[in-house]
Amino acid sequence: MTQTMAAPANPTAIERLWRDQHARGIILQLALALSLALFVAFIVSNTIANLQSAGLAAGYGFLDDTASFDINQRLIEYASTSTYGRAIVVGGLNTILVATLGIFAATIIGFTAGVLRLSNNFLISRLVAVYVEFTRNVPVLLQIIFWWVILLALPKVRDSLSIGDSIFLNNSGISTPAPVFLEGWGYVLIAIAVGLATTYALARWARKRQEATGQTFPVTVAGVALILGLPSIVFFAAGQPLDWNVPVANRFGRLRGGLTITPELVALWLALATYTGAFIAEIVRAGILSVSTGQTEAALALGLRAGLTTRKIVLPQALRVIIPPLTSQYLNLTKNSSLAVAIGYQDIVSIGDTVLNQSGQALEVISIFMVFYLTISLLTSAFMNWYNKHIALVER
């Protein structure tokens, strides 16, 4: 007897969609994202309700209120009658300032120390090793306080240490001549921009020319002439549109005029630069050691000097190993700058704490902190990733 099997029913559109692995994955991800969004919405709604029941208004409208406090370190105009929003902007700029200075100095210190630690000179390599090991193993907060105490031990303002009657060192900071830009300075800035753009284009052309013909071009000499020479010519042609406001001591021993760099900024800069520089030195040392010794031996056999071999052969290859961990150190330096609150440097955290205490808007202020540091970190990572991709080996 023949048994007849029923034909399977046609699957519905939903069943076909669910059986598709790619479509099922998208559905599950959307469901997870929706669940997470609903959870966050519940937390935010509950928090706002609790704040309202406690008599605290949620939102960022408080940023338009008067700050009523002063800031001694600022890059833009600010007064005690300014708003909370402007105060936070001033603090953010102060954070960016110390982070930029720290990254610049830490890079120089780290690369120099990393190369010197591999030196054949026993004394130099040992001294650098002591610096690296000591600095890396002492908490950065203690180093910040150490440098701050050292700077506060300088003489009082009336007994300032003078360098050429134009630079004064005292426990209130470092007073230096401040530049005063006169009419015509804009032409000099344009000349600098033209010099930088032309040098960049010239470097790209020289590299392509060398790859095609093997002939080199003195890009460094031409770049210096364009970046320094062209603006200098424009500077003198425009009638030297630059003056200097030199600090002068009055009869009460106080300094008037000039630019004053607070000891808090200097202490934070030195601590972050030396601390991060020690970690960068180890990264650089590891990167150099990752390059095969055969590369160095081949270069020396061709008659290249040791310094030229390091700059032209070893470091370009080592950079591919150095850049990824170097990015992490730049991010750490930026975030470690928030320790400035310990010595009273008015960065975004210090000023934000004052705003928080006066306004009571804790969640809003903390969210501003988080968005600020997240933005700076993402921009730094994006630039370093671009540079890392730019110097990566390209297979042919």
Whether 126 and 192 share a structural domain:
no
C-alpha torsion 354→360→364→370, nearest 10? 40
Please tell me whether residues 230 and 278 are part of one structural domain.
no
pLDDT in tens, 64-112: 888 888 888 888 888 888 899 999 999 999 999 999 999 999 999 999 9
Stretch 274-281: mean pLDDT, rounded? 95
Task: Let me know if residue 44 belongs to a domain.
Answer: no
Residue 186: pLDDT over 80: yes
Q: Give yes or no: residues 370 and 231 share one domain.
A: no
Question: Both 142 and 284 in a single domain?
Answer: yes
| Mean predicted lDDT score pLDDT of the chain | 86
Instruction: Determine the length of the chain.
Output: 396
50 domain residue, yes or no = no
Residue 164 placed within a domain: no
Q: What is the pLDDT of residue 7?
A: 47
Greater model confidence, 393 or 213: 213
Domain around 113: 84-150+246-390
Q: Do both 223 and 330 map to the same domain?
A: no
Q: Is residue 79 part of a domain?
A: no
Most confident of 103-112, 220-229, 296-305: 103-112
Which band of pLDDT confidence, cut at 50, 70 and 90, is reported for residue 55?
Answer: low
What percent of the chain lies above the pLDDT cut of 70? 93
Q: What percent of the chain has pLDDT over 90?
A: 36
Is residue 143 domain-shared with residue 255, that is, in the same domain? yes
Task: Clarify whether residues 277 and 343 are in a common domain.
Answer: yes
pLDDT (tens digit per residue) in 316-368 = 888 888 999 999 999 999 999 999 888 988 899 999 999 988 888 888 898 89
Domain boundary residue, one of 244, 259, 292: 244
Asked if residue 227 and residue 299 are part of one domain, the reply reads: no
CA distance 392 to 323: 10
Domain assignment of residue 255, yes or no: yes
The residue with greater pLDDT, 52 or 277, is 277
User: Which residues, in sequence order, are bridge partners of residue 162?
Assistant: 168
More confident residue, 1 or 252: 252
- Whether the CB-CB separation of 285 and 315 falls below 8 Å is answered with no
Residues 257 and 360 in one domain: yes
Task: Report if residue 161 sits inside a domain.
Answer: no
Q: Please report the pLDDT score of residue 291 as a whole number.
A: 84
Q: Say which residue, 210 or 189, is predicted with more confidence.
A: 189
Between residues 154 and 381, the one the model is more confident about: 381
CB 217 within 8 A of CB 203: no
Into how many domains does the chain fold?
A: 2
Residues 267 and 378 in one domain: yes
Same domain, 251 and 226: no
Task: Verify that 104 and 223 share a domain, yes or no.
Answer: no
Q: Which of 145, 239, 168, 226 is nearest to 192 (CA)?
A: 226
**Residue in the structure block whose two tokens are 């000097």:** 305
The CATH number of whichever domain residue 95 belongs to comes to 1.10.3720.10
* 300-324 residues labelled b (16+ CB within 10 A) or e (exposed): eeeebeeeebbeebbbebbbebbbe
The answer to whether position 39 is within a domain reads no
Contact between 380 and 327 (Cβ < 8 Å) = yes
Let me know the angle formed at the C-alpha of 146 by 142 and 152, rounded to the nearest 5 degrees: 145
Q: How much is the pTM?
A: 0.80
